[in-house]
Chains A and B, each alone.
Chain A
Amino acid sequence: MNISFSKHTLANGLDVLLHEDHACPIVAVNLWYHVGSKNERPGHTGFAHLFEHLMFEGSQHHDGGYFQPLEGAGASLNGSTNADRTNYWEVVPTNALELALWMESDRMGYLLPALTEAKFSNQRDVVLNERRQNYENRPYGLAPMAVLAALFPADHPYHWTTIGEIADLNAVRLDEVHAFFRRYYHPANASLTLAGDIDPDAALALVAAHFEGIEPGERVDAVRADAALEGEIRLRLEDRVELPRLYLAWLTPAMFADGDAELDLASDLLANGKTSRLYRRLVFDERMATDVSAVQNSREVAGFVQLVATAAPGHTLSEIERAILEEIARLGADGPTDEEIERGRVQAEAQFMFRLQTVGGFGGKSDQLNAYNIFVGDPGYFDRDLARYQAVTRTSIPHAVQRYLDPTRRVTLSIVPRGRLELAIPDSTAAVVS
């Protein structure tokens, strides 16, 4: 696999990645800032994401919404925040590239003069409604708060969710926005990718013209934090749900660290898709669960595997927990079959290809180039990334499973229908979520 690109760094520290693809007359503009909810502090959670909203509300030389001119030029655009990074992207017709660069540069360099209390307070209301819609008013929606808070200690940057706590969102003040912007939103903490129908020389000249004048800020140090589970933490939450659901979570290696690819594949072969071991056993054969899934959440500072299963009526979470732990133990003892390894490799290759079908948006080539550049400093990491999956063996998977998916050091969360506490795993204590 070969994604051709060139990398340039402007004098102010902005990384610029260029990738040519003339199949469609569009260009993806994708700008990453290396800041996410991991850069927040307790009591100030949800800030990075609220800030992302403000980036669409206008800047000094375009004091109005960012959607209007860009949608009018035929662009699709959006942004997103997670624990590790914030990204902004536009996919524009080729002739609107300069407009997108002008607007991205204006909010990178000149956001604050246009920021008002009214915009700030409106977007805080919008974010509180986003939280209600996607977490509070959604069945099982508070699970992420409970699981993260139990896995990571209170001062660890993954202790809270990106959407943040209600009290913190209500307490945030406009002057905090200024300090945050100055610290994290500057060229030396960003990576800009243009992918698609571009002439690289002309594109680089355009980027330089719009971004060179923006002053760099201070380098942002990497966030470091430790987490360890000394035992099992058993929690329960009551929710407006019909069927109880079990969450199991373990601390695991960070993104690209040793064991990350193994646990990614182990999650798939344990619980993803109809060929997975737990789907077969829990859903297909014994029919004690209605669904099962697992994911290795690969993050910059640490990772965690989360395995989720919903109980079928007439079955208990304890039955499901027992079966899951048996299958994990079996994988740890015997490893995967050759057939499972082969399937895992082909699927990894296919997933890589599918992800690179588009130049931009969420995912696509521009997002991936920025991800590799920000996280490993090498936009051309594709082959090495895929090689991690090709290098997985019948012994490396059980090794990682034994080491990390330890039944005695995990978080166990039962979400049960309101008033049905007896359906939780025994000896669980009430999770406190806010």
Chain B
Amino acid sequence: MMASLWQYVLSGVVDGAIFALVAAGFVLIYQVTGLINFAQGEFAMIGAMTAAALATAGMPTLAAAGIAVLAAAVVGALCYLLAIRPARKSTGVTLIFITLGLDVALRGLALFVWGTNPLSLNAFSSGNAIALFGGALPPQAMWVLGSDVIVFAALYLFFRHTYAGTAVRAAVANPPIASTFGIPLRTFAFWSFVVAAAIGGLGGVMIAPITSATYDMGLTLGLAGFVAAVLGGLDSLPGALVGGFVLGIVEHVAGGLWSTGWEQGVGFLILVLVLVLRPQGLLGRATRRA
């Protein structure tokens, strides 16, 4: 029983790491623009599908993965330039509906380009499963966890130890006053979409060897990423990391102990509890602007 439970936790950690990457995209865009981008999961799908399609066409796996992350970033840039920026003076609700429209459009585009058949992608490294205290992790899990470490460390260093990162934090704290000092709010909004899309794309690329890639995987990943982001606190990148892992572990343990039908249900139950007991999320701030 305990051995099974430990294995569920390990599997949850791998999924949680992917949820954390998607959640980081949600948080990044929300922090910089105040917008919840419901198309975030589709960036992961673009990453996964592009990498799998290129690898299937004969490209080396790592090269395909790199190009896929770039492709997701380009799609993120286009989403901002073509859909969000022209409507930037609209109300928040309108913008959220635009992101929902983008979500549907990107999924439709993927269906048109790649069809309904799942595409597979080889693991980035071969070898046996890694034994860990009686449980086992697939070799690809190390790539997934390594991606989390690199992405979150890079984001931390950028925001805390660079001039541009400090300027982004200033813009988040007080946008109109930041603009009077020449801090370019729109440029930051653009880059938040590009970076969030690249991070989402990386998440998709990393999980594709484990789950395979499908045109509609963005819906599930987007929903999980959103729940993880809200769990952790929409304005907190460490919260996205914690929220992702909590959600991944809870889903897998619930699914393993009871049935897979419980997975998402328990995740949402935790979300409701957190929203009732601590609306700002596990690591979010109660008030976010000066």
Chain B binds chain A:
no
